[in-house]
Structure 1
Amino acid sequence: MRPSKRDELVRKALEIFDRLGYQAAGMDTLVAETGISKTTMFKHFRTKDDLILAVLRYRDETFRNWFFKQLDESGLPPGEKLLHVFDLLEDWFGEPSFKGCMFIKASAEFQEKAHPAHVQSAEHKRLLRQAILELAGQTGVSDPELLTRQVMLLIEGAIVSAQMGTDRDPSAVAKKAARQLLECGMRPQSTVN
C-alpha cells in the first residue's frame, strides 16, 4: 500500500528534525527538503508544532516496535533479556543514521513541561520504563522498581554518551554495570535485628 502524503511528510520531516533539530528546521527548509508545498503541509498540519508532534509519535511507535520485537525474539530468560537491551542500543548506536535520541533532544529544545513535544517525549520514556519494569519484575530481584530506575539511568546515559561521542563503547560499559546491579539485586537481603 502506497503511503499517504501525510505519512510521507512525517517520515521526511523525521529525518530533517533528527539532523537539524526541531527549532532550526524552519518551514522553508521543510518545504525545500521534503518537496512538499507549504499548502500541502498546512493541509495536514495546522502548525509546525503539530508536525513535530506527529513525528515524535511516529518515532515512538517505530522505535518501540523495533525494540520490543528484538527483545521478544531474543528468546532469552528475563535477566539476560534485560541485559540484551544494551546490545540493542549498541546496534542502534552503530547505525550510520544515529544522531541520538529524538526525545531527549525534543525535551531539551522544548523545556516547558507542558509543551506537547515535551509531553510526548516524557510519554515515550514512561512507556520504555514500564517495559523495563515488567522485565525487572520477571528477574526475581528483590526491588524491581529500584533496578528499573537504575537501568533507565544507564540507558539514558549510554544514549547521551553515544550521541556526544564521550565514550568509545557506552553500551558495553552500561551493560556491565547493569549486570552488576542485577546480580546485586538477586542476592538475599540481610536483616539486622
Structure 2
Amino acid sequence: MPTNAKERLLIAAERLFYEDGIRAVGVERILAESEVGRASFYRHFPSKDDLVVEMLRRRDTNWRAWLTRTVDSSTLDPEQLPLALFDGLAERFEAADFRGCAFINTMIEEADRSSPAHQVAAEHKEKVIAYLDRLLVDGGYRDHATLARQFALLADGAIVTALREGGTEAAPRARAVASALLRAAEREP
C-alpha cells in the first residue's frame, strides 16, 4: 500500500465505491480501509463529495488510457479501428470484479445533473465520444460525430447487458451492430 495518505484514500475509495456504491460507503469505512486518520482525510478532501469527484477524475484518466492502449495494440485496419473498443470491453467483462461502468453507476446514484459527481461522470462519457470521433475521422467516415455517439450508446448498452447477463457475449453482439453501422456509413473519397 502506498505511504501517501491521499493516494491510499483514492485507492480505497475507488475500490469501495465501485464494489458497493458511493452512497453505501461512508467516510468511516474509507478511513478504516485506507488506514488514514480523519484529520488527514479532511486535509486532502473537504468532504466525501470532493473525494468522489477526484476519484472519478482519476478513474477517467486511467480508463481512457486503457482505451488508448487497447486501440493502439489492435491489429485492425484504420477504418475498423473503432471496433477495438468492443474487443477491449469483452476482456473487461471477463474480470471477476466486473461491476459495470463506474461512471454509469455514478450517474444512477447521483441522478441530479447539477451534482459535481454526475457532471464528472458525464464529462467522461463525452471524452470517450470525442476519442471515438477522432478514430472515425481517421477512418474516413463522413458522419463521424453521429457514429461516435452511436458507438458510445452501443458500448454503454453492452456494459449494462454484460452486468445483467453475467457474461461477455454483449461485447461481440454490440461489435456486430457497430460493424454494420460502419459498413453502411459513407466514407470520404
Do these two structures clear the TM 0.5 threshold for a shared fold by scoring above it? yes
CA contact (8 A) 2:154 2:178 kept: yes
With 162-171 and 22-31 compared, the bigger mean Cα shift is at 162-171
CA distance in structure 1 between the aligned counterparts of 2:108 and 2:93, rounded to whole angstroms: 20
Q: Deviations over 1:8-47 (max 9, x none)?
A: 2101110000011001101122122222222221111110
The SS at the match of 1:79 is coil
- Structure 2 gap segments, 5+ residues each: none
Task: Name the structure 2 match of 1:25.
Answer: 25
CA distance in structure 2 between the aligned counterparts of 1:71 and 1:166, rounded to whole angstroms: 25
With 137-146 and 86-95 compared, the bigger mean Cα shift is at 137-146
Residue identity (%): 32
CA distance in structure 1 between the aligned counterparts of 2:118 and 2:132, rounded to whole angstroms: 21
- CA distance change for structure 1 residues 43 and 187 in 2, over 3 Å: closer, same or farther? closer
CA distance in structure 2 between the aligned counterparts of 1:158 and 1:96, rounded to whole angstroms: 17
1:101 aligns with 2:96: no
With 80-89 and 140-149 compared, the bigger mean Cα shift is at 140-149
CA distance in structure 2 between the aligned counterparts of 1:56 and 1:174, rounded to whole angstroms: 26
The SS at the match of 1:23 is coil
Task: Name the structure 1 match of 2:35.
Answer: 35
Task: Name the structure 2 match of 1:11.
Answer: 11
Task: Name the structure 2 match of 1:159.
Answer: 159
Task: Name the structure 2 match of 1:49.
Answer: 49
Q: Hey, which bits of structure 1, 4+ residues long, moved more than 3 A? A: none
Larger radius of gyration: 1
CA contact (8 A) 2:140 2:187 kept: no
- Superposed CA RMSD: 1.8
The SS at the match of 1:77 is coil
